[in-house]
Amino acid sequence: MTGGIAVRAGVVPVLSAAVLWGTVGPAQLLAQARVDPVALGACRMLLGGAVLCALTVRPSGLRTLWGPGTRVWMLVSVGVTALFQGAFLQAVDRTGAAVTTAVAFGSVPAVSGLCARVLHRERPPAGWLAGTACATAGIALLALPGSGGRAEPGGVLLALAAGASFGVYIVAAKRLAAAGADPAAAAPASVFCAGLLVSPWLVGAPAGLGSTRGLVLVGWLALGTTALGYLLFTRGMTRISAATTGTLSLAEPLVAALLGVLLLGERLSGWSGAGMALLLGGLVAVALPDGRRVRPPAGVA
């Protein structure tokens, strides 16, 4: 009973975070701010990370991030966070919101599940394989040519790099928590430090950031999708498996596809509609309690 409650308490915030993140690509295209994607990512991480740090980080929590068992995973977390932001926003700029989010997050369940299996010896929940297969098939249909997006090869490769980096981030964050790092400090510090890592782009490509459209876009991406999104994600991910977390993140391309239709005028073919149905079915399958007792990772209260 306790395990089932923990799973449900983890599913809702992770799914909510994925919905917020699903607005990133559509917002970027809708704003038409003509901002360099990497500079936009730097602003998003610096402002969003600073707000997260102010709201959640304590000095005692920061000290837990640089111990012998956490230092390497903290560096990994910062690196893949920076890679995700730069690759994802560039992919949106090159190949569209719906296709980018579909391709990126189609790779997340496989990466997070395999990493968790190898590093944690973590057994995926009963519905993970069926749910992931169903959702991944749906994403493949969404990414088909003629499904409402423009599948540009370079953009697709960037989207795959973004998805792989997010899958590694999920496992790195859980390793940090298991090693005694404060989860409330790990995510904000990762985001803010990743912003510092790519901040040179603000000097090299500042155009558009000071415009009204640019400021509104940065505000939404930093405060709505980053600060609030990471707060929800961090709260939920410690209560469910890495494999389940990765699969639930597939809500992001579903939201992006819907917003593409409603706000960006993208048309869904029959294949796209079938893909969205499969994706939703996968989310339902992985979110259902599997009846096994779920124990939180070591170091998590």
Residue by residue, pLDDT tens for the chain (301 residues) are 455 565 667 888 989 998 998 999 999 988 888 899 999 999 999 999 999 999 889 889 898 998 888 999 999 999 999 999 999 999 988 878 877 877 787 777 777 777 777 776 777 666 777 777 887 787 777 666 655 555 577 888 898 899 889 888 888 888 898 888 988 888 899 999 999 999 999 988 888 888 999 999 999 999 999 999 988 887 887 778 767 776 777 788 788 878 877 887 766 667 767 877 787 777 677 666 555 444 333 332 3
Q: What pLDDT shows up at residue 265?
A: 73
Is residue 301, in this structure, part of any structural domain at all?
A: no
Is residue 227, in this structure, part of any structural domain at all?
A: yes
Is residue 300, in this structure, part of any structural domain at all?
A: no
Is residue 295, in this structure, part of any structural domain at all?
A: no
Q: Which domain holds residue 259?
A: 2-287
C-alpha–C-alpha distance, residues 20 and 229, integer Å: 6
Q: What pLDDT shows up at residue 151?
A: 58
Q: What pLDDT shows up at residue 67?
A: 84
Is residue 292, in this structure, part of any structural domain at all?
A: no
Is residue 79, in this structure, part of any structural domain at all?
A: yes
Global pTM reads 0.78
Is residue 270, in this structure, part of any structural domain at all?
A: yes
Q: What pLDDT shows up at residue 132?
A: 77
Give the C-alpha distances (Å, rounded to integers) separating 85 from 35, 103, 143, 163, 183: 14, 15, 20, 10, 20
Is residue 19, in this structure, part of any structural domain at all?
A: yes
The label of the residue with tokens 């990414």 reads: 143
Number of separate domains in the chain: 1
The token pair at 1 is 């009973």
